[in-house]
Amino acid sequence: MAEAIELRSGPINIGIVPEVGGGLAWFDLVDNGERLPAFRRWPGPGTADPNELACYPLVPWSNRISGGGFHAGETFHPLKPNWPADPCPIHGNGWQNVWKVTATTDATANLRLASQDPGPYAYTAELRYAINDDTLSITLSVEHEGAAPLPYGIGLHPWLPRTAGTRLQAPASTVWLEGDGHLPTECVPIDTQPGWDFRADRMLPADWINNGFNEWDGTAEITWPDRDLGLSIKSAAPYTRYIVFSPSNDADFFCFEPVSHAVDAHNLPGGPAAHGLVILKPGEQLSAACHFTPHRL
């Protein structure tokens, strides 16, 4: 049965579940005895579905890969679907594996995953959670251990509460339109999609959204006026993109995912490097940090 490791410092309290993708069980602001979830809370021990977590890491890629795999040079690498009812391999495999805890303090935890899959991938990933004053920092890194260069990507997949008043500001310049199979079809200027223009603070769209945003400046602000709660997000390259997912305003959650590359970047025109994937040679690393600061409004 999966159990959470609790970390606490100042007003921040988190729970980590190494056995379920190394993800978070909860991320709360504790203020005057009141516990305010900044991420959606995990149902608890015995729940092994990573999509019930508060957040999980994305490695060695984010989101979907079309066509049953991808080419690296002249070699085609097949990949199998890894989630029921989805025909595409999705989110790599870090979220579906047990991570090893290598070090902990009251306010930090280091986790490691050594993997010989999926497909051609062989890598070691490191995941660090650190609470510093009023901020949770999550650092994810991956080192390629295969014999030939491969494209790598990383990201984080937070699940956040959605209420009637939820608002988002996250400046980006372009957005991918979504087609069949939740795959990208066309990248368009954000001006052409006013309902998704989060350069200024705005309500989440009322209907389906599952789109990747590009040329992100690395800052975001989520506010829940009806909860007297805000969440400031700050990151830097390679997190220059994000994905927003929510089925509708009837859902009790939405996802804001900092990522290093576009959906299906392995197969998009122009090649993987043109869409944010990093071609790692054996022994090379890719790393990124993201910082989350919950606060009262």
Model pLDDT for residues 246-279, shown as the tens digit of each residue: 999 999 999 999 999 999 999 999 999 999 999 9
pLDDT of residue 85: 85
pLDDT of residue 2: 81
User: 93 versus 73: which is more confidently predicted?
Assistant: 93
Mean pLDDT for 113-124 is 98
pTM, rounded to two decimals? 0.97
- Percent of the chain whose pLDDT exceeds 90: 96
Mean pLDDT for 146-158 is 97
Model pLDDT for residues 174-230, shown as the tens digit of each residue: 999 999 999 999 999 999 999 999 999 999 999 999 999 999 999 999 999 999 999
Model pLDDT for residues 4-20, shown as the tens digit of each residue: 999 999 999 999 999 99
- CA dist 70 and 77 (Å) reads 5
pLDDT of residue 105: 97
pLDDT of residue 1: 67
Domains belonging to the chain, first-starting first, are: 5-296 (2.70.98.10)
Mean pLDDT for 127-151 is 97
pLDDT of residue 240: 98
Count of beta carbons in the 10 Å neighbourhood of residue 60: 26
